[in-house]
Chains A and B, each alone.
Chain A
Amino acid sequence: MINNPEFRRNLWLELTPYRLVGMPLVLGAIFLLVYFVNGRQVNEQFATTAVVFYGILSFLWGTRLASESVVSEIRDHTWDNQRMSSVGPWEMTWGKLLGSTIYPWYGAALCLLVYLLAQDSQSYLVHTVKVVVLLLASGLFSQGIALLSSMQAIRKDRNYSRSQAAAFLVLGVLVVVPVLSLAFDEHTTFTWYGTTYEGFGFVLITLLAFLAWTVTGIYRLMRSELQIQNGPWIWLCFVLFLMGYGAGFVTVELSDPTLPVSVVRLLLSFAIAALVTYAMAFSERKDPVAWQRLLRHFRMREWRSLLDELPCWTITLGVTLLTVGFSVLYVSLPANPAMHGAELAVFIVSMAGFVLRDLGLLLFFNLGRNPKRADMLTVLYLALLYGVIPTILAAVNLDLLTTLFWPRKDLQPILGMMAVMVEVLVMSWLVARRWRVNYGERRG
């Protein structure tokens, strides 16, 4: 790691002699104060204080620095120099993740040391080690999410002020809140694919898995920044992992008594894929130039380049539609015990139709002449379509018309499906027309 240029640069900047001395002095004074307040005892309360300060240093300060590490380079016009260096994406990932946060980690490590020293019983050694691993992984996860989200954001828009970058800090902190609360709740257990697991161990393994995916995500974005193409496979694996992980939580008790667990797992997988599609569609750049490049690859039959440059949301949309197709087949099988299989199939297709319509709306606004606030405009329209208008219709007893705005299983499902398909067709025509008018004249 010490040979990593980015890490070394951060060491020069962050670990100056004054700062190296300052951190133990400040922490030492705080712990001394706690020691005296605590009746000159090094007990559990003392250990808790160490964990709290670990949290402040790692989850707050470290996450803030991680969220700023690339954004500030862009702001200070030094990022292009880094992009033009020979530092590889893997080195850059760790150089940024550990390098920019090295000073808070220095303090956090001291806190963990105090936490370990405050443990008095040999019998809890395994648990203590597990807690330390969980705290370290949570810190890295929080910082990783902040860095990942900031890097995803700069792919869309390069200019972020300090206050805007605070959103990445908030996101980084938010993701560790459930992790820590679930891990330290002694009564929590998880039933996953029919097996019940003890809470702490399950959360720890889940955390390590998601941390690995976070680092992989940063690595992929770093590759993109360094102009190295990413294939679609890693992203595909992540989406499938997410679907498989989420579907595991469906148990017999959770599911609708009229539906078998397998069907609910399929539906949940579809919902996860659809949610990830929405998330990526909104967070990725919907650049007409990128579409032109994709069309060009398609026309030139450059399949490898086409796959390399496909936006993640289109790959996820493909997975979503495949899940829909598989779910429809599965629930329609005569041997399948699913109740009202045909109705369910219609409902699933309707939901997929709404996803397509919404994405069409998003593309339509983004292909406008001035697409700066297109995503925000789409959110506004979706709020109207899913919230305000159906509520008004329901209020004036025009419940049937709400099928135009909501996938409804209880009310004329076939009519609803036909309505949403018409919406999809209209949206597709509008998108195609806007493309032709604004960008179609040039064929790259």
Chain B
Amino acid sequence: MIVVQNLVFDYPGTRALDDVSFAIRPGSITALVGPNGAGKTTLLRTLAALERPLAGTVLIDGVDVLRHPRECHRKLGHLSDFFGLYEDLTVRQCLLYTACAHRIPPKRQRLAVTRAAERLGIADRLESRAGNLSRGLRQRLAIAQAIVHEPKVLLLDEPASGLDPEARHSLASLFLTLQREGMTLLVSSHILTELAEYSTDMLVLKGGVIVSQQSINAPRTASVGIRISLAGAFDGIDGILNAIGGVTEVRLEGTSVLFSYSDDPLAQHRLLKELIERGAPVRQFAEEQVNLQQAYLATVGAAQNGGVA
């Protein structure tokens, strides 16, 4: 859905994006993470055709953003980190204006406004002035404006900043709903726990370079991460595991061992039986869900040590 190739973006004297290439599959929610100044906002603004890069190609649903920016805007919704609203317009007028500006036919505009307002839970505020809304409601209105034309791709820069935990949770539910309806989302945020609620993929940007792109909570594949905890030290556990067919990426963490193995329950049962037969003091055996924060810290840590995850 989003294909970026060799994207280079310079500010005078500073390279903000350095030969960035990645692809985002349709229907995914990708968490765009990275430290401050990593280039996240610049990347989102370039994808939204709001900034012109020095070099590179950006395709949104097969359309070249640099060559046909207006065509891309029909497929895109964007929420800026510093968004603004027309304070003197009502919520309905704000949404109606956006629907109109996105060329939704007049007959469908009212419906689009109602649908967007209902999705964001602001249907009861349609006649309120935007300037009178609370921070959370303003954020919801801004997101409603970004999705009123049902874009294929939604780019969100810090969408939950300033929201209370309840509003954040409902935002996560909304993103999952939009994803189920076929929308592709790219969300930049500092709040990793919030991203972990709904992200399927993670894109790590650091110093203008893509450090890693990986799946988070992705649908199960043939191989999963498994953690076993031992009752005490047991020399040679890694050797035993490496000798078993299908076990890969064995990593010792104190009295715990992490490794990849088949997601087949019977195969896992056989593995556990074999470990116990070989005398390993196993007290816990469980599949390990990849935690976004751990994955992010591990990735950034690896990048700092000179490698790329």
What is A's interface to B at a CB cutoff of 8 Å?
5-6, 8-9, 12-13, 73, 76-78, 80-88, 226-228, 287-289, 292-293, 296, 369, 371, 438-439, 442, 444
Residues of chain B within 8 A of A289, CB atoms compared: 10-12, 54
Contact check, A5 vs B97: say whether CB atoms are below 8 A apart: yes
Contact check, A9 vs B89: say whether CB atoms are below 8 A apart: yes
Q: List 26 A-B contacts (CB under 8 A).
A: A9-B86, A9-B89, A12-B97, A13-B86, A73-B84, A76-B87, A77-B83, A80-B50, A80-B80, A81-B83, A81-B84, A84-B49, A84-B50, A84-B73, A84-B78, A85-B73, A88-B70, A227-B49, A227-B52, A228-B69, A288-B12, A289-B10, A439-B13, A442-B10, A444-B8, A444-B55
Q: A86-B103, A296-B55 are in contact. Are A12 and B89 (CB under 8 A)?
A: yes
Q: Which of A9, A296, A369 has the largest count of B CB atoms less than 10 A from its CB?
A: A9
Residues of chain B within 8 A of A288, CB atoms compared: 12-13
Residues of chain A within 8 A of B69, CB atoms compared: 226-228
Docked pose: A87 CA to B74 CA in angstroms: 10
Docked pose: A76 CA to B88 CA in angstroms: 12
Q: Can you name 9 extra interface pairs (CB under 8 A) apart from A78-B86, A84-B73, A226-B69?
A: A76-B84, A77-B82, A78-B85, A80-B50, A81-B145, A84-B76, A227-B69, A369-B13, A438-B13
Q: Which residues of B in the span 36-70 have a Cβ within 8 Å of any Cβ on A? A: 48-50, 52, 54-55, 66, 69-70
Residues of chain A within 8 A of B30, CB atoms compared: none
Docked pose: A8 CA to B102 CA in angstroms: 14
Residues of chain B within 8 A of A226, CB atoms compared: 69-70
Contact check, B88 vs A8: say whether CB atoms are below 8 A apart: no
Asked if B222 CB lies within 8 Å of chain A CBs, one says: no
Docked pose: A343 CA to B86 CA in angstroms: 63
What is B's interface to A at a CB cutoff of 8 Å?
8, 10-13, 15, 48-50, 52, 54-55, 66, 69-70, 73-74, 76, 78, 80, 82-89, 93, 97-98, 100-103, 145
Contact check, A12 vs B70: say whether CB atoms are below 8 A apart: no
Contact check, B10 vs A444: say whether CB atoms are below 8 A apart: yes
Closest chain A residue, CB of each to CB of B94: A9
Q: Which of B48, B80, B85, B97 has the largest count of A CB atoms less than 10 A from its CB?
A: B97
Closest chain B residue, CB of each to CB of A13: B88
Closest chain B residue, CB of each to CB of A77: B84
Closest chain B residue, CB of each to CB of A85: B101
Residues of chain A within 8 A of B80, CB atoms compared: 77, 80-81
B104 to chain A, nearest CB (A): 9
Residues of chain A within 8 A of B100, CB atoms compared: 5, 8
Contact check, A82 vs B70: say whether CB atoms are below 8 A apart: no
A2 to chain B, nearest CB (A): 11
Q: Which of A83, A227, A228 has the largest count of B CB atoms less than 10 A from its CB?
A: A227
Docked pose: A289 CA to B48 CA in angstroms: 19
Contact check, A80 vs B78: say whether CB atoms are below 8 A apart: yes
Closest chain B residue, CB of each to CB of A367: B12
Residues of chain B within 8 A of A371, CB atoms compared: 12
Contact check, B84 vs A86: say whether CB atoms are below 8 A apart: no
Contact check, B49 vs A86: say whether CB atoms are below 8 A apart: no
Contact check, A85 vs B98: say whether CB atoms are below 8 A apart: yes
Residues of chain B within 8 A of A9, CB atoms compared: 86, 89, 93, 97
Residues of chain A within 8 A of B98, CB atoms compared: 81, 85
Docked pose: A51 CA to B31 CA in angstroms: 61
Q: Which of B13, B48, B80 has the largest count of A CB atoms less than 10 A from its CB?
A: B13
Residues of chain A within 8 A of B83, CB atoms compared: 77, 80-81
Residues of chain A within 8 A of B93, CB atoms compared: 9, 12
Q: Which of B8, B66, B86, B101 has the largest count of A CB atoms less than 10 A from its CB?
A: B101
B293 to chain A, nearest CB (A): 30
Docked pose: A80 CA to B102 CA in angstroms: 14
Contact check, B101 vs A6: say whether CB atoms are below 8 A apart: yes
Docked pose: A80 CA to B79 CA in angstroms: 9
Docked pose: A5 CA to B85 CA in angstroms: 16
Contact check, A296 vs B54: say whether CB atoms are below 8 A apart: yes
Residues of chain B within 8 A of A13, CB atoms compared: 86, 88-89
Top 3 closest pairs, chain A to chain B, by CB: A77-B84, A85-B101, A227-B69
Residues of chain A within 8 A of B50, CB atoms compared: 80, 83-84, 227
Contact check, B97 vs A8: say whether CB atoms are below 8 A apart: yes
Closest chain A residue, CB of each to CB of B93: A12
Residues of chain B within 8 A of A444, CB atoms compared: 8, 10, 54-55
A133 to chain B, nearest CB (A): 32
Residues of chain A within 8 A of B101, CB atoms compared: 5-6, 82, 85-87
A419 to chain B, nearest CB (A): 33
